[in-house]
Structure 1
Amino acid sequence: MASSTETASQPERPPRPNLAFRQLRGSRSPAEFAALVRRAAREIGERVSCDARYVGRVEAGEIRCPNYAYERVFMHMFPGRALTDLGFAPRSSVRGRAARATPDADPAPAAGAPPGGAPGESPGAFEPYDPHENDQLNHEESDVLRRAFMTGGGATVAAATLGPLRPTTDATAAVRPSRRPGTPEAAALEEAVRRIRLLDDRHGADGLYRRAAAPLRAAYALLDAGATRQTTADRLHAGAGELAISVGWLAHDSGRYDDARSHYAEALATARMTGDPGLEAHAFCNTAFLARDAGRPREAVRAAQAAQRAARPLGSARLMSLLALREAGGWAGLADRTGCEQALVRAQALFERGHSEADPEWMSFYGEAELEGLEAQCWSTLGDWRRASRHARRAAHLQDPHFTRNIALYTAELADDLAREGRPDEAAAAGLRVLALLDQVQSSRIQSMLAGTARVLLPHRRASGVSDFLDRHASTPRAARA
């Protein structure tokens, strides 16, 4: 579908691969290079949601010119080089947009214009979610998620199609697109998924879930409208399915298990309709995780095995490793130590094969820290607190500081394992580290773990640091449930 700046008779030009940018990546995988971009962004105070897919789109020539946030990051990474040296087109040539006068100041948007860059750019800078503004945001439209759809490729078209995305409990009130969706809408939907994941990594699910329903309804409204091209329709279905999984995870992490189950089932149905094995594997992966947490370990094993059947043709050893860990969690819940250990050995062997181009974009969280953290949970379920605490400690130590929520999660796991192992002073110290992160992270899952640790530590109030932990935990406000 032509964008708003092109006539319907104009065919889209095939993208020209960006060989210069590909050369800069060198021997690193797209995921590894994306991690370097995010690290460079943090060094200069920028926030970009760069991942393997974004790197792939740049290298494929789909992003002819990055937006200003990415430009600043790339100039920091490669000082002395212009955008054209990195293989990008001059900004003035992108859809006729004039180049800005200076590299440091973005032009003010026209009145009523949606936020974001020029058409054809991928979003970069992003307003951080502020937990202290939660009450205000509960009563206003979600700028965070609205902008995730309204910026990026075809910003004007996406904004017109999806509208303000105000939260509503009436599913029939979802915005009805006035035109058939195309590439800009598909790109905006994909970026929305990335940004939700990015915010969850930093802040946890509780503050996001309340505001994620409207974008999901809008995504399915796009599917109902129907795309002109099959390739666009496939992207929209995949994007809507991934968004359903992301919203399902927000429900899962905030303790809304029935909602999560519904969202995962919706994603699975979308995958089955379109014959998308990657989406099917992802939906089953999350279903297995949910079943384990909800006390249905046999279902967790079955779902994890179904995910492995769907994922096997995809060729990603890292994905198969994660799915083996999901299966291990189910076996642990069934108190089947042998089945759990076999799955853990398989997960480790697959993990050691390393990254590949076949690794799904959503797996950017899965590194050595997550491997250690999930193994810790298995040993904890089996009651082997010493092994559990050893792996949980390694997970917290290895975690990239970017993933604040996971640091809090692994440390909460460590605190609980130490408490049950009979080391109350160390457990209290770990618990205090988690409490210090709760002003940045909102996760009912983590708060529930801390509450369990506090109960275990109650008889040990006289141990060093325990009284301090218990008092601070008791005075910590709990996140409100919507």
Structure 2
Amino acid sequence: MASTRAVPNLAFRRLRGRRSPGEFAAAVRRAAREIGEQVACDARYIGRVEAGEIRCPNYAYERVFLHMFPGLTLADLGFSARESVRGRASRATADARTAPAAPANPTPAPTPTYGDPGDISEESDVRRRAFMTGGTASVAAVASLGIGIGIGAAPAAAVPGPRRVGEAEVSALEEAVRRIRLLDDRHGADGLYRRAAQPLRTAYALLDAGTATRGTTADRLHASAGELAISVGWLAHDSGRFDDARSHYAEALATARVAGDPALEAHAFCNTSFLARDAGRHREAVRAAQAGRRAARDLGSPRLLSLLALREAGGWAGLADRTACEQSLGQAHSLFERGPSDSDPEWMSFFGEPELQALEAQCRAALGDWSTAARHAYRATVLLDPHFTRNLALYRAELAVDLARSGSLDEASAAGHRVLDLMDEVQSSRIQGMLAGMVRVLLPRRRTADVGAFLDRHASTAATAHRV
């Protein structure tokens, strides 16, 4: 097959105007924050767009660009239609032309391809918006989709026989995933977990009862169900429900294997590794991360491989294998420095330099290098966009713990106060547990003025939270 030469995107270049690629990338990141997105946009990404190497942006970038240039379409910005570029949609179209049955897909696309919003009817859009809101609105949306599921788990008899699953249902599930991630970024997991279980039950009911069209719709249905399982699993994980999280991650992994989706498989293994590390199963954390790297090796995303290398490093640190940990950290940094790619999965929008620093801080802490851990945690706090409240609280808590362990008690107390400043907005058992561990370290020095003030405030905050 002849290769396709990249055609420079002159329309996008005109929109940049007199700004440098770096200045324009900064404007893109600012616009993303305005709508609750996070994109790792840099001058290199802008250069690739203008050179025509990125023919169609992923979903997150699409939202940002259309927000920056209201009234323009992707075509106006110089991009190609999604169905004309690589991915599930284009392969599905080709399959439909060449065979009566969908052939095996040896190289699934790294992320699901999303349809043009203009193809979705007004009724479908109403359903999708209702699905996003969670709680009772999710139930209303489920009813509108014809799936007989209430708040509790539905018996098999409540689900109707085979039915056609189309764009409205799949788009609703995809939006539910994005909504859950956005709310978690801002508020933490504790208040979301049970509400998020309803869309997940709906997703698997659709898989069980629906007869999806071959090709892109079926792929997206499996991918969105698996991503929902991971998102709900993460909410369970972050709120301390480790057994529930393990079950959800295993469900996502099974879905990935059934669908032949290596991107979903890599995501499931990535979260499984993280959970195993938190649960003290460090050997499992290493093996899950290695399995994720094998699944992700052909997906064209150095950043995904970097994150998986960091997960492996965390496992090695828990096993006190300093040499292996350092090797994995080195690989993570080398891969990260290759920069973002339009093959990066949508769920990885959180993974930038701040998260890299925070994960290295965790590794250093597990190895007992508390001062080094504190330096990396501090970098994470100053580099992070404060819009991401939950991660800011997490990074500050990591910093406070590392400072306390290193003996910098006054600085640890000051960092602890900054965590408490955010706890009205963030509900995370993980962060509360980190602060509780820090308190145990500080208690012997309670008579120190700064330490005592922090301990008193923490006790008051914890008592208020308990009463609520």
TM-score by length of 2: 0.75
Selected match of 1:195 from 179, 182, 187: 179
What does residue 217 of structure 2 align with? Answer: 232
Q: 1:127 to 1:49 in 2, by over 3 A?
A: farther
Helix, strand or coil: the match of 2:219? helix
User: Per-residue deviation at 1:186?
Assistant: 1.3
User: Per-residue deviation at 1:146?
Assistant: 6.0
Selected match of 1:432 from 402, 414, 417: 417
**Amino acid of the structure 2 residue aligned with 1:243:** L
What does residue 164 of structure 2 align with? Answer: 180
> C-alpha separation between the residues in 2 aligned to 1:121 and 1:21?
29
Could you report, residue by residue, the CA deviation over 1:337-386 in whole angstroms, capped at 9, with x for unpaired residues?
11101100110111001001111111000000000000000010111100
**Amino acid of the structure 2 residue aligned with 1:300:** A
Q: 1:161 to 1:378 in 2, by over 3 A?
A: same
Helix, strand or coil: the match of 1:212? helix
Selected match of 1:390 from 367, 372, 375: 375
Q: 1:34 to 1:274 in 2, by over 3 A?
A: farther
**Amino acid of the structure 2 residue aligned with 1:206:** D
> C-alpha separation between the residues in 2 aligned to 1:50 and 1:175?
38
What does residue 189 of structure 2 align with? Answer: 205
Q: Which runs of 5+ in 2 are unaligned?
A: 1-8, 41-48, 50-54, 78-119
Q: Is the 8 A contact 2:163 2:211 kept in 1?
A: no
> C-alpha separation between the residues in 2 aligned to 1:427 and 1:419?
5
> C-alpha separation between the residues in 2 aligned to 1:403 and 1:126?
25
> C-alpha separation between the residues in 1 aligned to 2:16 and 2:458?
46
> Is 397-406 or 328-337 further displaced after alignment?
397-406
Selected match of 1:37 from 17, 31, 36: 31
Q: Does 1:441 align with 2:426?
A: yes
Selected match of 2:303 from 301, 307, 318: 318
> C-alpha separation between the residues in 2 aligned to 1:442 and 1:247?
15
Q: 1:213 to 1:455 in 2, by over 3 A?
A: same
Q: Is the 8 A contact 2:36 2:182 kept in 1?
A: no
> C-alpha separation between the residues in 2 aligned to 1:353 and 1:84?
30
> C-alpha separation between the residues in 1 aligned to 2:166 and 2:12?
27
Could you report, residue by residue, the CA deviation over 1:20-68 in whole angstroms, capped at 9, with x for unpaired residues?
679758969x9988744332x3xxxxx555879xxx9xx86999xx9xx
Q: Is the 8 A contact 2:66 2:73 kept in 1?
A: no
Q: 1:274 to 1:401 in 2, by over 3 A?
A: same
**Amino acid of the structure 2 residue aligned with 1:407:** L
> C-alpha separation between the residues in 2 aligned to 1:396 and 1:452?
20
Q: How many residues align?
A: 396
> C-alpha separation between the residues in 2 aligned to 1:391 and 1:21?
37
Q: Point out the structure with the larger helix share.
A: 2
Identity among equivalent pairs (%): 64
- Give the 5 Å matches for 1:360-379: 360-379=345-364
User: Per-residue deviation at 1:403?
Assistant: 1.1
Q: Which runs of 5+ in 1 are unaligned?
A: 1-17, 42-46, 89-115, 130-136, 151-157
Q: Does 1:215 align with 2:196?
A: no
Q: 1:441 to 1:171 in 2, by over 3 A?
A: farther
- Give the 5 Å matches for 1:102-121: 118=122
TM-score by length of 1: 0.73
> Is 176-185 or 188-197 further displaced after alignment?
176-185
- Give the 5 Å matches for 1:45-56: 47=35
Helix, strand or coil: the match of 1:465? helix
Helix, strand or coil: the match of 1:462? coil
- Give the 5 Å matches for 1:110-189: 118=122, 141-143=135-137, 150=141, 160-161=144-145, 166-170=150-154, 172=156, 176=160, 179-189=163-173
User: Per-residue deviation at 1:183?
Assistant: 1.7
User: Per-residue deviation at 1:119?
Assistant: 5.2
> C-alpha separation between the residues in 1 aligned to 2:342 and 2:383?
23
**Amino acid of the structure 2 residue aligned with 1:450:** L
Q: Is the 8 A contact 2:131 2:172 kept in 1?
A: no
Q: Is the 8 A contact 1:25 1:33 kept in 2?
A: no
What does residue 277 of structure 2 align with? Answer: 292
